Amino acid sequence: MGVWLPNPVFDGNYFLPWAMAAISLGIRCFTKDENNKAVIHSLIIPVCFFSLLALVFPRGIMPPGPKHATFYVPLYYGIDIIAQACFILGGWFAVFHLKEKDPDKLFNSLMVAGFILYSISQVIGAYWAYLGWALPMHWSTKHLQSASIWCYYAAILHLRYFPVWNSRHESWFALAGAALLLLFIYGAQISALSFPGMGG
Amino acid sequence: MIKRIWNFCGDIKVNFWLIFAISINLALGAYFIKFNPKFFSPLNHSLVQDWFLEYGQYHPGQSWWLVLLFVLAFMLGVNTFVCAVKRIAQLWPQRKQNGFRVFSVKIAPSFIHLCFLFILAGHFISLIIGYELNIPVQLNQKIALPRGDSVEVISRQVERYTVPAAFNGAVRQCTVLLKFQSPETTEIKELRVLHPVFRQGMSFHLDVLTNNQSQQAAASPELKLIIKKDPGVALVILCFAALCLLMFWYFPQRKKT
């Protein structure tokens, strides 16, 4: 096309597997515990799955309209999708924690990292929405789902203060959180399949 | 009795179940909006009590989750406040024993909770107090503002893509010139999409309809002028940013201590 646009790079379908791969590599490089290596190597499965899934969705570039021709777009989507990747991989590690194969509780670290990044993306998104639409939060499906995910993970982070609840309970919640997130992401993606072009 | 109520209000278990209930409520609300967007759309441009009196009260089957959301958010606000106060009261006498670093790490969650309280308050203020005018842009139309001021759109310009060829004709940016008039002064300001003008406690935003049709067609896009007074928005964005910074600092420190 002779032009480089940053926005399509951060399309959820394509950036999500990329972010998952980058996080997996980071975990692989910084984990010293040899017992955890097998679990970390298994991350190749979700990375491949989401890469293949991306091929199902239509590709195309829409010209960025006045509200999308801003650096807030790649910044918001980039951070938001990295946070989503953390939550999904957190769910993956939670399965291994339930099988007692994740003694380091990596699922918890991923949830915490995901929650911080998700919060940052929500601030950027709120500021962008205020500049463009005069509202930091819309009463729309997407915004309410984002708020629901944020509250859900905020609730999980409070579980550690329950004396009778242990990390297994936390793992179940992490797994359910990843499922809820996938339902929201791919529910919206399937609805969007009827649109002629995506990616801008 | 008062102590029992105070302890119940500041119970971490109550906190967890309230946030969890709000999360489920928001997820349900998202589906109500998805399947009935026209009913909820006016809520974005009116105060919540006005929307409820005009629409919500006549369709309780559609709006019950919104009422419940307010009740749960109020309860969460009380719970968060009591939790934060209890924790600060407990930690404050220990500040000299612990040393500054350990004390800062221990007290940080309370500040995070206070930021959250301000965010809730900011959202509440935005929803119940404020002023919004939503007007299609028309040249030379004079719009009356509070305090005897007025604003007039004196020109409008639509910039379109010329390269690459695939984008040719799609809307790139829209600009209008606004003439502000008060009994004493006249001022001209340029307003662009995503670049609001702030004046006398109000913000002026330019909105453009950029659905697929308007992006592809060469027809003139529909522009809207949004005039807004939102006393809660600054509180929401600033406190959310502070909350993020505090969490960004706190979680790695918690691991170390």
Interface of B with A in 70-99 (CB under 8 A): none
Q: What is the DSSP string of B222-248?
A: PEEEEEEE-TTHHHHHHHHHHHHHHHH
Looking at the 3D structure of chain A, how many domains does it have? 1
Cβ contact (<8 Å) for B194 and A197? Answer: no
B187-205 exposure pattern, b = at least 16 Cβ within 10 A, e = fewer:
eeeebbbbebbebeebbbb
Structure tokens at A77: 């989507």
Question: Which of A69, A119, A158 shows the shortest C-beta gap to B19?
Answer: A158
What's the domain range around A43?
7-192
Contacts of B157 (CB under 8 A, 6+ apart): B174, B175, B176
* Phi, psi for A194 (deg, rounded to 5): -75, -15
Helix (H, G, I), strand (E, B) or coil at A5: coil
CA distance B112 to B84: 9
pLDDT along chain A (200 residues), means of 10: 79 92 93 80 94 84 87 96 97 92 86 97 97 93 96 93 84 95 84 50
Q: Is A197 among the domain residues?
A: no
Distance from CA of A167 to the nearest CA of B (A): 16
Q: Which residues from A are below 8 Å from B67, CB to CB?
A: none
Domain coordinates in residue numbering, chain B: 2-130+234-256, 132-229
**Which of A63, A120, A152 faces B167 most closely, judged by CB atoms?**
A63
Residue B173 to chain A, least CA–CA distance (Å): 5
For residue range B44-93, list pLDDT tens digits in order.
999 999 999 999 999 999 999 999 999 999 999 999 999 999 999 999 99
Which of B135, B230, B244 is the best mutation test for A, with the most CBs of A within 10 A?
B244
| B173/A contact by beta carbon, under 8 A | yes
pLDDT of B98 above 60:
yes
Q: Which tokens belong to A138? A: 């819309």
- What is the percent of chain B where pLDDT is above 70? 96
pLDDT 10s digits, B165-214: 888 888 999 999 999 998 888 999 999 999 999 998 899 999 998 665 44
CB within 8 Å of chain A, chain B residues 218-247: 226, 228, 230, 233, 236-237, 240-241, 243-244, 247
C-beta atoms of A115 and B208 within 8 A: no
